[in-house]
Amino acid sequence: MTSDPIRRAVRQLSRLPGIGEKTATRLVYWMLTQPGDVPAQLASALQELDASITECKVCCTLTTHDEDPCRLCARGDRDDTLILVVEHPQDVLAFERTGEYRGRYHVLHGALSPLDGITPDQLRIRPLLERLRAETVTEVVLATDPNVEGDATAMYVARLLRPIGVRTTRLAHGISVGTEIEYADTVSLARAFEYRRELS
Amino acid sequence: MRLLSIQALNFRNLKPLAIDTDAAFVVIHGPNAQGKTNVLEAVYLLATLKPLRARRLQELVRFEEQNAVVGASIRTEGMERRYKVSIGPDGRTVQLDGQKVGLDQWFQGVRAIAFTPSDGEIVLGGPSERRTWLDRAAFTKAPAHLEVVRRYQRVLDQKAAALKGARPEPAMLDALDVQLAEQAARLVERRMDLLTDLRAHIEALHRRIAGDAGMRVTLRYRSPVVEAQGTMAERWRRIFERSRQGELRRRICLSGPQRDDVEILLDGQPVRSFGSRGQVRSVVLSLKLAELVAARARGDAPLFLLDDLSSELDRARTQRLVEVLSELAAQVFITTTDRGHLGALPADVTCSLRVSQGEVTSSA
């Protein structure tokens, strides 16, 4: 018979993405058998998250109350004419890892999905429009995921931007670099063909 | 492709199965209700990962068992590989040469076209029967069709959900309609390409199978998009625009390829209303054969499965069918209660299997 606190902890942990009930159970028992107060340390770290994390008032990515606007928005060496629109804060990190992108970001916190009850007003689209009015942006790059929801979101945002007159582009998609065409999946390959470009 | 051997465990009523099938014609014979169709069902599962007659995959598992396994050695373009499908309570898993693979790779090596007694529904049933057939045929032609169908369906589901929502925002519906039009265009272009393929062959095949000279088979794709102008995606977009008011009123999707149909005519008359039983069968069989011939013309060689042939075609038509199939050099699986019905199959390319109470044995 499992006692209530253990069961409650298991239930909470198994809500996390990628963690099932088995893994959650293993984690809870592991924490309980470790030296040092693992549950308390974890709990305080999580509480601190809750207390200190907020959305950046400019780009809506996650940041702390102490750094708002976020570190990237505060930097003076970035290109203010360019905004890259992504679904999630993690996508910002992915682009930063490339070291190629010098512009600003905007995080929507999701993509349109009426099936999951996600409509435009749940996304950070209004703050994006306000930025475009206030800032000197000349191009918005829509870098939402290349799936049905991401494509619909890009289309939706592009249509809202049309009257503003800012150049709107969509991230290219196709086969990944370094793979061989032979092994690329058919959908990516078909898309790569569809979005082919001229060699000058 | 050539199915060299097949094995099955806990599959329907079949006793553990392990048979060689390396022949152009594999004839599965025996009295009714012994399990002939289950052998075909196993081959169909390998080739499509879907059930042939059962409604759900789990129905393929032997009563009171948890898991069923079907394996086969298949030679495609000179290379022999091991295919294995397992069905359990949580769905199915596939292995190619002992490794997990994507469906892409799987379907490169094995595909099938089947003709079963229930296929009369393609002609006699509602539009959804014809769409299902068309999409399956387009999949057999190019497995990427599955992804096209799925993607279209996903956008359609999103739009349906948006229409059901509290106050559907027009700009959001616009964005979804642009997507939907793009996917609809891809889907319909593929369906129409397939019909073009079939038209090239169906006439001659029908004449040979039916034997009655001169009846013209016509296949016509029925969709509001056919008559309009502009690119396919533009046409769909305009159609969706026109449906918008009604859709907002009724809160459902009112147009799209999910409502299209294929008209099947014999001498200008719908076979559905005017065809005799014999004519319906000849037309459906010609459709399936046209799929096979079109595949052969592309250099593909899907397996051809014929279920319960003796109940479907008279002796004369059956023998003409066997003649056509012999010329096509595709591997054919036939179930029948009466081996004599098939006429003289060339002995050197025929493998004969007898099914009795779930046990399959080779019968020379």
B73 beta partners = B5, B82
pLDDT at residue B296 above 80? yes
The residues, any chain, with a CB within 8 Å of residue B265's CB and separated by 6 or more, are B216, B217, B218, B219, B220, B271
Supply the CATH number for residue A123's domain.
3.40.1360.10
Q: Give the distance, in angstroms, between the CA of residue B104 and the centroid of all CA atoms in the same chain.
A: 17
Q: In terms of domains, do A114 and A33 share one?
A: no
The residues, any chain, with a CB within 8 Å of residue A127's CB and separated by 6 or more, are A60, A106
Nearest-by-Cβ selection for B171 from A114, A117, A160? A160
> Which residues on chain B are in Cβ contact (under 8 Å) with A114?
158-159, 161-162, 164-165, 172, 176
Each of the 200 residues of chain A gets a pLDDT tens digit; together they read 567 899 999 999 999 999 999 999 999 999 999 888 889 999 999 999 989 999 999 999 999 999 999 999 999 999 999 999 999 999 999 999 999 999 999 999 999 999 999 999 999 999 999 999 887 899 999 999 989 999 999 999 999 999 988 999 998 888 888 888 887 877 788 778 877 888 87
CA distance A25 to chain B (A): 22
The confidence band for B261, taking pLDDT boundaries of 50, 70 and 90, is very high
pLDDT at residue B146 above 70? yes
pLDDT tens across B104-114, in order? 889 989 999 99
Q: In terms of domains, do A116 and A186 share one?
A: yes
CA distance B176 to chain A (A): 6
C-alpha pair distances (Å), B10 with each of B61, B65, B72, B73: 6, 7, 15, 19
Q: In terms of domains, do A49 and A68 share one?
A: no
Give me the DSSP letters along B35-68: SHHHHHHHHHHHHHSS-SSSSSGGGGBPTT-S-E
Q: Hey, of A113, A115, A153, A193, which one would you mutate to test binding to chain B, going by the most B CBs within 10 A of its CB?
A: A115
Pick the closest to residue A133 from A164, A102, A100, A110 (CA basis): A164
Classified as helix, coil or strand, B302 is: coil
**8 Å CB contact of B176 and A151:** no
Tokens, residue B159: 């739009």
Q: Specify the pairing of strand B17-20 against strand B2-9.
A: antiparallel
Q: In terms of domains, do A72 and A19 share one?
A: no
Q: What is residue A182's DSSP assignment?
A: G
Do B355 and B362 form a contact (C-beta atoms < 8 A)?
A: no
The mean per-residue pLDDT over the stretch B188-212 comes to 92
Q: In terms of domains, do A10 and A63 share one?
A: no
pLDDT at residue B279 above 60? yes
The confidence band for B364, taking pLDDT boundaries of 50, 70 and 90, is low
Give me the DSSP letters along B169-225: -HHHHHHHHHHHHHHHHHHHHHHHHHHHHHHHHHHHHHHHHH--TTPPEEEEEE-HH
The mean per-residue pLDDT over the stretch B198-219 comes to 88
Q: In terms of domains, do A34 and A74 share one?
A: no
Phi, then psi, of A194 in degrees rounded to 5: -60, -40
Q: In terms of domains, do A61 and A132 share one?
A: yes
Do B30 and B310 form a contact (C-beta atoms < 8 A)?
A: no
Number of structural domains, chain A?
2
Given this model, what pLDDT does residue B213 score? 63
Given this model, what pLDDT does residue A2 score? 65
Q: In terms of domains, do A48 and A60 share one?
A: no
Q: What is the dihedral of CA A17, A22, A26, A27, to 10 degrees?
A: 20
**8 Å CB contact of B158 and A148:** yes
C-alpha pair distances (Å), A117 with each of A85, B176, B177: 21, 15, 18
Given this model, what pLDDT does residue B180 score? 96
Q: In terms of domains, do A19 and A94 share one?
A: no
Query: What residues in chain A have their Cβ under 8 A from chain B's Cβ atoms?
Result: 112-115, 117, 119-120, 148-149, 151-153, 155-156, 159-160, 185-187, 190
Model's pTM, two decimal places?
0.86
Supply the CATH number for residue A18's domain.
1.10.8.420
The mean per-residue pLDDT over the stretch B14-32 comes to 94
Q: In terms of domains, do A131 and A152 share one?
A: yes
Tokens, residue B74: 């298949």
Q: Hey, of B148, B179, B247, which one would you mutate to test binding to chain A, going by the most A CBs within 10 A of its CB?
A: B179
Q: Which of A38, A53, A68 is the last residue of a domain?
A: A53
Nearest-by-Cβ selection for B171 from A115, A156, A190? A156
Whole-number mean pLDDT of chain B?
Answer: 92
Phi, then psi, of B223 in degrees rounded to 5: -165, 145
d(CA A153, CA A85): 10
Given this model, what pLDDT does residue A1 score? 52
Nearest-by-Cβ selection for A120 from B143, B164, B169? B169
Given this model, what pLDDT does residue B247 score? 96
Q: Which of A53, A72, A93 is the last residue of a domain?
A: A53
CA distance A132 to chain B (A): 19
**8 Å CB contact of B174 and A148:** no
Q: In terms of domains, do A129 and A188 share one?
A: yes
Q: In terms of domains, do A108 and A188 share one?
A: yes
Number of other residues whose CB lies within 10 A of the CB of residue B46: 24
pLDDT tens across B48-74, in order? 999 998 889 999 999 999 999 999 999
Q: Which of A53, A75, A92 is the last residue of a domain?
A: A53
Give the structural domain span for A81: 56-198
Given this model, what pLDDT does residue A185 score? 77
Nearest-by-Cβ selection for B104 from A152, A160, A185? A185
